[in-house]
Amino acid sequence: MKFTYPPAVRFHCVKCGLCCGDTKEKTRRVLLLKPEAEQIAKTILQPASQFAVKIQGAEPYSYEMKKTAEDGKCVFLKNDRCTIYEVRPLICRFYPFELKSPHDENYQFLFTEECPAIGKGRVLAEDYFRKMFRLALVKHKQAGSS
């Protein structure tokens, strides 16, 4: 399988928390693979129903993260910091990038310019995207076998 990625894109997370909730322009959906929901549940010692809702029609994703009612932020975001950072979902690990899955086996990494960290830091090399690509393959394989 092959992938393409944006050339000469700079990115260094500025820890603003924008990616963790809704904005005026965008309603975010933090989708979870079943093994991710299970891992979070195991880590926080609560059932997945406490932090996510079961969904259908978004395969391979099985859950959607709940948000706080007052500001539309992820329930795990406290003071602009992720409280489950070590076990955060794949979709969170990828932001501000997303991996588009085409029909011809040529995957494509895209990114959103809404992230204030795009254009900051060093230029990301192919190795950065290769690691993310491998992680996606592993996570999706786990989801397929669960």
Structure-model confidence comparison of residues 48 and 16, the more confident one:
48
| Parallel, antiparallel or unpaired: strands 77-78 and 81-82 | antiparallel
pLDDT of residue 145: 63
pLDDT of residue 23: 84
pLDDT of residue 70: 86
Q: Is the dihedral of CA 1, 58, 98, 103 positive or negative?
A: positive
Residues 54-72: pLDDT tens digits? 999 988 889 999 999 888 9
Residues 19-40: pLDDT tens digits? 999 888 888 899 999 999 999 9
Q: Pick from 35, 13, 1: which is nearest to 111 by CA?
A: 13
| Sequence-ordered alpha helix ranges (H) in the chain | 34-44, 90-94, 126-145
pLDDT of residue 106: 84
Q: Are 1 and 107 in contact (CB under 8 A)?
A: yes
Q: Are 22 and 72 in contact (CB under 8 A)?
A: yes
pLDDT for residue 87 is more than 80: yes
* Mean pLDDT for the chain overall: 91
Phi–psi pair at 142, nearest 5 degrees: -60, -40
